[in-house]
Amino acid sequence: MTTAVFPGSFDPLTNGHLDLITRASKIFDHVIVAVGQNTAKRGVFTPAERVAFITTSTQDLDNVSVQIESGLTVDFLRGNHATVLIRGLRNSTDFEFEQGIAGMNRSLAPEIETVFLNADPQYQFVSSSLLKEVAQFGGDLSALVPPAVAQGLRDRLERD
């Protein structure tokens, strides 16, 4: 059985993320979506809220589970007996960035293979910072995020 991990901050979860999770679930026996905290950014949602959004949005994918991670991603993979690390690529800038991370992970854990999945063209322009900005000004994000996330963004930004 091959277990793969798709790590990210998922703040917020997008339809692009969901597309990658769905596609990975067709390739691997088990996919763990690992919700981490990006220390360089202030999050809109707590890790628990992000887990809830992902769990709800992937409830029809029987081989997908969601966990919070902290620390080194390769340690998380080892702790979950996973051998594949999934990363999504939107563009060449993502590739350059991810290539360095993949090299470091390979150095730390040669038994773990990084697999890159290209983003669906309809989501290649989507970034969490752009979504947050559009949401802050009341823009319609219904085609870009799951309904629960769109509502959560509206609710959170109205309070802040």
Token output for 13: 């979860």
Identify the active-site residue in 23, 65, 78, 90: 90
Mark whether 70 is an active-site residue. no
140 class by beta-carbon count within 10 Å (0-12 exposed, 13-18 middle, 19+ buried): exposed
Going by the annotation, the residues of the binding site for ATP are: 9-10, 17, 88-90, 98, 123-129
Identify the active-site residue in 41, 70, 142, 154: 41
Going by the annotation, the residues of the binding site for substrate are: 9, 41, 73, 87
CB neighbours of residue 157 within 10 Å: 14
Mark whether 41 is an active-site residue. yes
Identify the active-site residue in 25, 30, 57, 128: 128
Mark whether 128 is an active-site residue. yes
- What strands lie across the sheet with 113-118, from one edge to the other? 64-68, 30-35, 3-8, 84-89, 113-118
Mark whether 26 is an active-site residue. no
Ramachandran angles phi, psi of 113, nearest 5°: -105, 130
Going by the annotation, the residues of the binding site are: 9-10, 17, 41, 73, 87-90, 98, 123-129
Distance CA(53)–CA(7), nearest Å, equals: 15
Check the CA dihedral 44-46-51-53 and report its sign: negative
**Any idea which residues carry the catalytic annotation?**
17, 41, 90, 128
